[in-house]
Amino acid sequence: MYIFDLDGTLVDTRAAVKEAYRRVGVTMPDDAWGVPWTAWLKSKSLHENKAKAYPRCLKEFASKLPLFDFAQKHQAPIITGASTLAVQAIEKEFGQLNIIKTYASRQEKIKWIINICDGTFKVPTGAGNRVEGVIYVDDDEVVIARLQSLILKKELICQAKLPYQISLQALYPPPEQTQD
């Protein structure tokens, strides 16, 4: 099973996010990626105004990345730190996805992946709940490094027949899907 992050993995939104903040007078710090806005922006009204500017910025500055069509076709689960409003704007612009979690912090993403791997959480997918392995794709190196660390420490134990894989990079299309 493939599980994806959204921003930077399926849709290149970096320029759109920065521009939406710029339009409301905010310079987004480079180290704010992967961090909830509440940790670096103290004004809820500025964030709400950014959210209003974001759909237009998506049209002007964002683009689908190659894995978007794969994730959409296979109804792959998406875990994202983006807000529900941001996800709705992305889906309106690029198409519907199988979003299972929004507002996910780095730690929450890790917890969700662990719960999926150990069977605590059954993921709604186009292929049913049969999970023989997980390939998680995220552009956030902090999340990937933490998951890799848990696997190396054997704290992330897999019940499936195939070993779980955590991946920062993925092939398009994946080898087992080339005939679709």
Q: What is the pLDDT of residues 114-123, one digit of tens each?
A: 887 776 676 6
Average pLDDT, the chain: 81
Cα angle: 71, vertex 73, 79; to 5 degrees: 30
Provide CB contacts within 8 A for 161, sequence distance 6+. 132
Position 134 scores a pLDDT of 77
Q: What is the pLDDT of residues 18-53, one digit of tens each?
A: 999 999 999 999 888 878 888 899 999 999 999 999
CA distance 11 to 35: 18
CA distance 145 to 20: 30
- Residue 63: alpha-carbon gap to chain centroid: 15
Provide CB contacts within 8 A for 51, sequence distance 6+. 20, 83, 85, 86
CA distance 141 to 70: 22
Cα angle: 14, vertex 16, 18; to 5 degrees: 70
CA distance 25 to 50: 9
Q: Which residue is listed with tokens 């237009």?
A: 56
Element (H or E) spanning 135, and its range?
A: strand 135-137
Domains of the chain by range and CATH? Answer: 2-11+64-177 (3.40.50), 14-61 (no CATH)
* 129 has a pLDDT exceeding 90: no
Q: Which of 1-5, 70-74, 89-93 has the lowest mean pLDDT?
A: 1-5
Position 137 scores a pLDDT of 87
CA distance 18 to 26: 9
